[in-house]
């Protein structure tokens, strides 16, 4: 039964690097990812982060059945016109754990154009059978297209990583494009298109910051149909976030996370 649940969640590694904020936004952050979220969702955006950040999050997948979980630890740092980031994650349960190391960088070519790249090392460890590893290469792009509109494009695992053990096959590439709109400092919305396994997915999210302290977020996506939402509390240099995903006919996915600006 647990294997059925994992397969239903499309691709196990697609659940990697999911902060509570990204969960609540339904992953619609290709053009507007902030802090450590840029490491996985668009490394080009690392170059526009003004402060270093350390983030940790934990997701109880499908209400934690069989100990199924997704953990994430990330750090990003500003280096002049560039930015770098490193992320560690683990998805799985007691018998099989799938781990990921991501190294990413982004740099600016002028005020409005940003480029980025990332490398991923994937490791699957199954206690009953064997282990396998693979590496992936990804590229990102970001640009201001008109006043408060920002475009983001991300090509993830374009080399279609193939595991050393044939038991695990390979990971398909994914192409994402998003357009974000920030009419005011405390409001942002984004619409994304994602192509994976020849399936087109739509994602939409919006975020509202109230009194510069309280975040309210909501997101929707297709293939599979997922409705997500969440909240967050920010005070000075620390933010505590919560996100939840609802997939029809399956238990909820709960996420909590802490982000600290250094």
pLDDT of res. 16: 58
C-alpha to C-alpha distance for 250 and 106, rounded to whole angstroms: 37
pLDDT of res. 55: 97
pLDDT of res. 66: 73
pLDDT of res. 17: 60
pLDDT of res. 155: 97
Joined together, the tokens standing for residue 221 give 């996506």
Neighbours of 204 (CB within 10 A): 17
C-alpha to C-alpha distance for 68 and 154, rounded to whole angstroms: 28
Q: Residue written as tokens 């630890």?
A: 73
DSSP SS3 for 164: coil
C-alpha to C-alpha distance for 106 and 114, rounded to whole angstroms: 7
User: What are the structural domain ranges in the chain?
Assistant: 2-261
Q: What is the pLDDT along the chain (262 residues), one digit of tens a residue?
A: 444 444 444 444 455 567 999 999 999 999 999 999 999 999 999 999 989 999 999 998 877 677 788 899 999 999 988 999 999 999 888 778 889 999 999 999 887 899 999 999 999 888 777 788 999 999 999 999 888 999 999 999 999 999 887 777 888 999 999 999 999 889 999 999 999 888 999 999 999 999 989 999 999 999 889 999 999 999 999 999 999 999 888 888 899 999 999 8
Joined together, the tokens standing for residue 234 give 């920010």
What's the topology of domain 2-261?
A: Porin (2.40.160)
Neighbours of 191 (CB within 10 A): 17
Read off φ and ψ for residue 73, nearest 5 degrees.
-135, 125
User: CB-based contacts of 31: which residues, under 8 Å, 6+ apart?
Assistant: 42, 142, 150, 151, 152, 178, 179, 180, 190, 192
pLDDT of res. 15: 56
pLDDT of res. 113: 93
């Amino acid at each position: 039964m647990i294997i059925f649940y994992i397969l239903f969640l499309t691709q196990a590694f697609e659940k990697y690097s999911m902060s509570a904020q990204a969960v609540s936004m339904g992953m619609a952050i290709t053009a507007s990812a902030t802090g450590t979220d840029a490491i996985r969702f668009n490394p080009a955006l690392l170059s526009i982060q003004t402060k270093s950040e350390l983030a940790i999050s934990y997701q109880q997948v499908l209400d934690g059945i069989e100990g199924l979980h997704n953990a994430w630890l990330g750090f990003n740092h500003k280096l002049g016109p560039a930015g770098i980031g490193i992320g560690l994650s683990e998805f799985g349960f007691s018998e099989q754990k799938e781990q990921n190391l991501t190294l990413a960088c982004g740099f600016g070519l002028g005020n409005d154009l940003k480029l980025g790249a990332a490398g991923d090392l994937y490791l699957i460890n199954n206690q009953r059978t064997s282990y396998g590893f693979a590496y992936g290469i990804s590229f990102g792009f970001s640009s201001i297209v008109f006043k408060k509109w920002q475009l983001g494009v991300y090509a993830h695992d374009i080399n279609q990583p193939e595991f050393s053990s044939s038991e695990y096959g390979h990971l398909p590439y994914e192409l994402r494009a998003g357009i974000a709109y920030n009419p005011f400092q405390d409001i942002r919305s984004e619409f994304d298109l994602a192509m994976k396994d020849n399936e087109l997915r739509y994602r939409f999210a919006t975020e509202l910051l109230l009194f510069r302290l309280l975040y309210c977020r909501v997101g929707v996506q297709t293939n599979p149909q997922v409705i997500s939402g969440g909240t967050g509390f920010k005070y000075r240099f620390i933010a505590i976030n919560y996100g939840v995903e609802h997939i029809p006919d399956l238990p909820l996915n709960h996420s909590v996370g802490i982000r600290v600006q250094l």
